[in-house]
Amino acid sequence: YNNEPIEAAFFSTSNGYTENSEAYWQNAFPYLTSVESPWDEQSPKFYEQVTFSVREFEQRLGVTLPKDGSVGKVIARTPGKRVALVDINGKQLTGREVREKLQLKSTDFTWTRQGHNIVITTKGYGHGVGMSQYGANFLAKQGKTYKDIVTYYYQGVRIQDVSLVASKF
């Protein structure tokens, strides 16, 4: 990108979209922007469901659930349609914080309270930034070339011979 090697980030399975780099990490890279990746729905890693006791959920997230039986509310989503911010009984957490503290597969999640348990369903597997491995594999099976795949997932890049940029290192 702009005659410089890229950060070729990749992950397992999208939720149907890749993610802007700055929605998950601090830095914005113009070639790491959200694109559709609908092929991932065929991945065996597309959905996952996990269950936590209310107590464990509260402890891991450092929250107290409201008495009305609700869990929390998604108050913002990312360009890649993942959870950006939630509010749980007045405490705000990023989707990434929830993912990491609960060890979820993705920041695209929904949750429901069922008695003394919280059931969380995730879509996708990984941070979502860059190229989806399952998406790329499905594109290759459809006959797309590596150039087609790379330039789809990394927007605005050009594929060059490494010898043209190696002298810069």
pLDDT at 167: 63
pLDDT at 169: 56
pLDDT tens by residue, 54-95: 999 999 999 999 988 899 999 999 999 999 999 999 999 999
Say whether 56 sits in a helix, a strand or coil. Answer: helix
pLDDT at 168: 60
User: Which tokens hold the place of 149?
Assistant: 């795949």
pLDDT at 166: 65
* Boundaries of every domain in the chain: 14-144
User: Which tokens hold the place of 139?
Assistant: 């594109």
Spell out the alpha helix ranges (H) of the chain.
54-61, 95-102, 133-141, 146-153, 163-166
pLDDT at 161: 83
pLDDT at 80: 96
Burial class (CB in 10 A: 0-12, 13-18, 19+), 25: middle
Segments in the chain below pLDDT 70: 164-169
